[in-house]
Structure 1
């Protein structure tokens, strides 16, 4: 009877002075709607978001939601057990006919608004109302129990039931798959880096071999077998600004003079520094398009050592052949420094920077030991080079295999011009 007092609501009057009717409230458990769980949003985010950090965070949120649902279910189950116990007490009370009228009277006398009214006089009417209330309570409890069971969900309830555990498991599998893919990509990248490093090491090893192992241990010469506008040699060293220079070279011309042993051009000036001899013309030294004729005589098919020096101070120049000075002068491009950053070509005269060669000015023959310094060599140094008692290399353009390339059919051949000159002229100085 106490339980009924707690669960019954007061009935409202239907009219003035008329009998009052009792209405009983029902216990209603409202489950969480499936749509409120935002499963579609979660699934869309799971399909669109590939970042494993976001997936792990989502899985943690779902795990917390499952724990809350479990706590709610346990609370509802405890409530059902309490209500069931009290219901049993009420049912057992109905069986005791003596105690029921007394309890009923006590309850209704304490709060008369709960019952039909003051006109209720018989215990039979009270028992009937109590039975109805118990029936309503039992029905509400059963409805609550059914809804809780649906909320818990079993594997066999159909495809429409939303199961958080399944979604959580799917997210876990996705996270593991992403981690495996990341590990595979990391291994693949490491493999590629190792291959690249191996390739770089191989190239560096090859470059080191080429730098320390000369291809021509006995010296080499450049050979230009015919007069063309495409055979030439290229000095790879970068030319710096020079206020003085000395250029030395071994030459063996075949026909029509020496042509152009070397030419250096810069942007805007193709004749920055040129040594040339045209057919039936004297040897000329050009600096910034200024010309000086050199008193040199070069017979055909013989190795000859030539050196020319110059300084911007008053434009003083000197010309050597065979280690001996053959002439000197001044006023050649005075106070004009040789510009840096140009192209140094062997065997051809440049009409533009690095090209536009003229076959009539090409060297036909052989060339070797071309060296360029940014100072004026002393006469003794020039003589030592011509007598093969010195093998000094130019500090601006040294004669080394890896600093000189050939193009257009010109070739490199293993030969020491000093030994060749001694064989052709036994009276020449020995090394």
Structure 2
């Protein structure tokens, strides 16, 4: 009898557990389990963070975009600062090129010149030459800046520099002409004026090349061209070239079965016609002459 009672009590206990489980399933819905593979030595919390899904990827992308925007803003601020610095220096160059006021408070171009004391021609030309050198240095900095930053600010700065050079050229030439009319010119003053005009011309050519740029530069604007194809083809220089310390030459020479005699390429300087010569003589190998001397391998 006791055994039957114990078996009956276990059946009631199991039945009550099933009722509780069914009621829990009805209250909370169907239970689902998600399995995630975790390495043996990895922390479970770290694995959960790494497998968070597309949300973390989007967050990382947003952070990268924000960092890129900040870098672009910093670059723009640096460019604006450079433009302001160049503009202020050009303004100082323009102010230095203006005629200085005399002791009477009037400039040399005024009608009442009783109290004016004119400066010497040599001193004035020296000051103008120094101003031009400063402007030349600013132009070199602008060329370097323009090569690395092809932006709208760089184009507007080139336009501003062109206007400054035009105004300065008019002021310099007007000042020099006035000094030559009021004082007898000497040979040194004439030479110095020629140097000033040459510097101005060089600046104009350089700013023109800078405005046009490499990509839009037409072929007829090269400083060195070969207009004809003849047995003796000479280069044609449109204006004086600056001093060169190195240059590259590319030749495509077509071989011939018969022995040849001549110079496929030669470069001459004042006082030395055989500064650099590539010479061909009969069946012998081609030789290179440097300063009228054969180079050794």
Instruction: Looking at secondary structure, tell me which structure has more helix per residue.
Output: 2
TM norm. shorter chain > 0.5: no
Larger relative contact order (Cα-Cα within 8 Å, sequence gap ≥ 6): 1
Q: How would you bin the TM-score normalised by the shorter chain?
A: under 0.3
Looking at CA atoms only, which structure, 1 or 2, has the larger radius of gyration? 1
User: TM-score of the superposition, structure 1-length normalised?
Assistant: 0.18
Instruction: Looking at secondary structure, tell me which structure has more strand per residue.
Output: 1
